[in-house]
Amino acid sequence: MAPTRRGPAPRLIFGDLWPFDPAPETADPKLADRYQLFIGGRYVRPRSGQYFDSINPATERRLASIPRAGAADVNAAYAAATAAFRRWSVLPGRERGKYLFRIARLLQDRAREFAVAETLDGGKPIKESRDFDVPMAAAHFFYHAGWADKLEYAAPGRTLRPLGVVGQVIPWNFPLLMLAWKLAPALALGNCVVLKPAETTSITALKFAGILEDAGLPPGVVNLVTGAGETGAWVMGHPAAAKVAFTGSTEVGKAIMRQLAGTDRRMTMELGGKAANIVFDDAPLDQAVEGIVNGIFFNQGHVCCAGSRLLVQEGVAARVIAKLKNRMRMLRVGDPLDKNTDLGAINSAAQLATIRRLVAAGEREGAELWQPEGRLPAQGYFFPPTLLTGVTQSHRVAREEIFGPVLSVLTFRTVDEAIEKANNTAYGLSAGVWTDKGSRILRLSTELKAGVVWANTFNRFDPSSPFGGYKESGFGREGGRQGLLDYAARA
Ligand code: NAD
């Protein structure tokens, strides 16, 4: 029977049908009380003498002190990287590859410890740090280790040369994974790096310094400086940087581009997104619902490529929404360290305030809010999985990146309308298409203005697959051959 002729799915009531005993992950994250900067292969105190606290967003308790690097620290990091570049850049690729393989293996060896540290510091569920962040970070080092001695095949006819010292700034949503995306290709090509993690999630980057030491990486090849936006601006604006690579918000990306306008600095910008996840009436609806849930609730929706706009074809809209609500009733929100948890804590009080502000704006503009019943933990920054229906294209919740577990639902009638609505955004990072028709997938994958288009799946990543945006989602690619070439000098 055609799905369009069926009525809406019945409401399922789960109540306390499936009680879950607590299943906390207990591995020791081996946290220090106070971290230091990692410059020239040594742990150094910030010359500013200043530290700030990293907070566990699930408990609001302090985890560790993080150094606030000043301009003098950033200068020292660039000096160390510049000195290291002379030897690192001329090392045979197979030698550089050995270091990358070692880093990947050491990370795998300490995967549980890093997963717990990532979850404590960032609030993401342990099953995601354990099964996604840490293994994918290791996979990026393995992948680029493989390239290091085969660079002549990455660009046939060209001799790939490193650029020099690269400045890198990353966000808080995938701290260790974004570090791997940035470091691995830069090092494979023979560049040296000054990297700044986000201020709310610096711990795994600073723990990673220990892995670099254990791998015997020559001093100065990777330098880690911590701090907030001001430190980031020094890293991005430093005259010794041959290239800057930034992942973060479009707003800050634009500020960096203004800062560097008129210089010959190479740039990669991985910025925000507002992806459309498009469900046609011939789609396998139960699978699509799983893809919708994964697309928006993975990592509490703190995902640049999150499927935050659901475009559903009118004939199946009621049915999809009913199924979605049933599925959302089953999501477990709570302790990120519990292996049963689906949605952990929002990364910071500031991000929670942003989510609340945008959801309130959505309601004011006429969207209808739905959240499953259930109590949130009393302590910590939590927000329930949220559905906004009746959203139109002019609503803020259809245009602005919420970066939280909030799905805005719009409907469409024809393929042309779906394409037009999906492309009606300042962003262009990713999109999803759910349909039975291969020809339709091919058409949408060419007409949707997005760096990645997933078909009958969502949020699939692989180190060999380039990732990046169009329009205000940025430029340059990370991953794959394309990402590697972004770290090579122009022929
Ligand atoms: P953010 O822009 O506020 O901060 C990102 C980083 O930039 C942090 O390390 C921060 O300290 C630093 N920073 C802040 N001001 C700076 C300045 N003036 N100069 C230099 N650095 C500065 O973003 P966020 O809130 O940490 O991260 C969320 C954003 O990141 C979202 O918009 C998300 O879409 C985007 N993101 C994009 C990708 C991608 O691949 N396209 C991946 C992950 C996250």
Classify residue 356 as left (phi > 0), alpha (psi -120 to 50) or beta. Answer: alpha
> Looking at residue 8, what is its pLDDT?
62
**What residues does ligand 1 touch, defined as CB less than 6 Å away?**
169-173, 196, 198-199, 228-229, 232-233, 236, 247-249, 252, 255-256, 270-273, 304, 401, 403, 429, 469, 473-474
User: Ligand 1 test: best mutation among 231, 249, 265, most atoms within 8 Å of CB?
Assistant: 249
In angstroms, what is the span from residue 18 Cα to ligand 1's centroid? 39
Residues 236-268 have pLDDT tens digits of 999 999 999 999 999 999 999 999 999 999 999
> Looking at residue 4, what is its pLDDT?
46
C-alpha 62, offset from chain centre:
24
In angstroms, what is the span from residue 165 Cα to ligand 1's centroid? 21
> Looking at residue 12, what is its pLDDT?
60
Q: CA 38 to CA 453: how far, in whole Å? A: 38
Helix (H, G, I), strand (E, B) or coil at 216: coil
Question: Which pTM was predicted?
Answer: 0.96
- Cβ contacts of residue 159 below 8 Å, gap of 6+? 152, 491
* Continuous H helices in 238-368: 250-260, 285-297, 314-329, 349-364
In angstroms, what is the span from residue 12 Cα to ligand 1's centroid? 39
Contact status, residue 308 vs residue 341, Cβ threshold 8 Å: no
> Looking at residue 7, what is its pLDDT?
62
Contact status, residue 64 vs residue 54, Cβ threshold 8 Å: yes
Burial degree of 159 (CB within 10 A; 0-12, 13-18, 19+)? exposed
In angstroms, what is the span from residue 271 Cα to ligand 1's centroid? 7
Classify residue 210 as left (phi > 0), alpha (psi -120 to 50) or beta. Answer: alpha
Atom 39 of ligand 1, nearest CA residue:
270
Q: 113, 118, 128, 270: which one is catalytic?
A: 270
> Looking at residue 10, what is its pLDDT?
64
In angstroms, what is the span from residue 280 Cα to ligand 1's centroid? 33
Q: CA 469 to CA 387: how far, in whole Å? A: 26
| Ranges of the chain whose pLDDT falls below 50 | 1-5
Superfamily of structural domain 273-455: Aldehyde Dehydrogenase; Chain A, domain 2 (3.40.309.10)
Q: 192, 199, 304, 472: which one is catalytic?
A: 304
Any idea what DSSP says for residue 201? -
Q: Quick check: is 270 catalytic?
A: yes
User: Ligand 1 test: best mutation among 124, 168, 173, most atoms within 8 Å of CB?
Assistant: 173
Domain boundaries, the chain: 37-271+470-485, 273-455
Helix (H, G, I), strand (E, B) or coil at 369: strand
Structure tokens at 47: 């010359």
Tokens 């995938």, located at residue: 174
- Cβ contacts of residue 26 below 8 Å, gap of 6+? none
> Looking at residue 13, what is its pLDDT?
58
Instruction: Please tell me the class of the 37-271+470-485 domain.
Output: alpha beta
